Amino acid sequence: MPELLEIERLSAGYGEAVVLADISLTLAEGQSLALLGRNGMGKTTLVNSIVGVTRWRGGTIRLAGRDVTRLRPDQRAHAGIGWVPQERNIFKSLTVHENLTAVARPGAWTPDKVYGLFPRLAERRGNLGNQLSGGEQQMLAIGRALVLNPRLVLLDEPLEGLAPIIVEELIAALARITRSEGLSAILVEQNAHKILGVTDRAVVLERGSVVHTGDSAALRADRAVLESLLGVSHGGPKRAGAGPVH
């Protein structure tokens, strides 16, 4: 498969702080990637750098062979990068349907197709964004990214803080997006076991550098490596406290 995303020796951060150091990775067309790491190791910063909202320090980012390193975030979106940030960023004063139609672009993903993916949204299509539960807002945020019909979608902690039943619904939807639909995706998530089950490859970051690259299924099956790299057991991450994720 041809490479869709190519990151070469990327360094980036915020202000004077350099968070990412000399990162290189690739993602093929139609592939999905789990971006893993303990809290504060640079996962969100890497996603933000692909989107274009960090301070660039060096290296290149190419999308489908095009150098997008110096493009503005809106230009990268037009080039085909979709983004679901932790904050979701839905229009809370618009209805569900208005949220989808306001940003939709021509392509395979339409509002109706999003409703098929998330029946809860179809039931609430006339509700305002601020009338939705946290899980429904996350579904809407994902739907908004999909109707842009991106070539690559970035999802930052899509399961964070959601009830188990909603998590299972979202996992099933993510599996459809990455497996059945074949959309290229990068997923940042603390629950390694769940996200490794719906991705092809995995990258682990530590202190802003890549320390592991490999097959998602192989990493999911290797408890010793998961414990070593991420401090996780089969039940999920071991956390001393709920600190900020960067």
> What's the rounded mean pLDDT across residues 161-181?
94
> What's the rounded mean pLDDT across residues 156-181?
94
My answer on whether 121 and 15 are in the same domain is: no
| pLDDT of residue 232 exceeding 90 | no
My answer on whether 71 and 173 are in the same domain is: yes
**Where does residue 92 rank: exposed (0-12), middle (13-18), buried (19+ CB within 10 A)?**
middle
* Number of folded domains that form the chain: 2
My answer on whether 9 and 117 are in the same domain is: no
My answer on whether 74 and 90 are in the same domain is: no
Residue 39 lies in a domain: yes
My answer on whether 39 and 58 are in the same domain is: yes
Band of pLDDT at residue 190, cut at 50, 70 and 90: confident
- Phi-psi bin for 219: left (phi > 0), alpha (psi -120 to 50), beta? alpha
| pLDDT of residue 25 exceeding 60 | yes
Give the chain's end-to-end CA distance (angstroms, integer): 31
Instruction: List CB contacts of 176: < 8 A, sequence separation 6 or more.
Output: 117
- For 37-63, the pLDDT digits (tens) are 998 899 999 999 999 999 999 999 999
My answer on whether 57 and 105 are in the same domain is: no
Q: Chain-wide mean pLDDT for the chain?
A: 92
> What's the rounded mean pLDDT across residues 186-192?
91
My answer on whether 69 and 173 are in the same domain is: yes
My answer on whether 24 and 65 are in the same domain is: yes
My answer on whether 73 and 173 are in the same domain is: yes
CATH of the domain at 64: 3.40.50.300
My answer on whether 202 and 92 are in the same domain is: no
My answer on whether 76 and 109 are in the same domain is: no
State percent of the chain over pLDDT 90: 87
pLDDT at residue 231, rounded to an integer: 82
> What's the rounded mean pLDDT across residues 150-167?
95
Range of the domain at 67: 1-80+152-158+169-177+184-236
- For 197-224, the pLDDT digits (tens) are 999 999 999 999 999 999 999 999 999 9
Describe the crossing of helices 134-146 and 164-175 by its angle, rounded to 10 degrees. 10
pLDDT at residue 2, rounded to an integer: 82
Q: Where are the alpha helices (DSSP H) in 72-211?
A: 73-79, 96-103, 111-117, 119-123, 134-146, 164-175, 192-196
Residue 204 lies in a domain: yes
| pLDDT of residue 235 exceeding 60 | no
Token readout for 74 is 């809106």
My answer on whether 115 and 212 are in the same domain is: no
Residue 209 lies in a domain: yes
pLDDT at residue 233, rounded to an integer: 58
> What's the rounded mean pLDDT across residues 186-204?
93
- For 97-144, the pLDDT digits (tens) are 999 999 999 999 999 999 999 999 999 999 999 999 999 999 999 999
Residue 246 lies in a domain: no
| pLDDT of residue 241 exceeding 50 | no
| pLDDT of residue 242 exceeding 90 | no
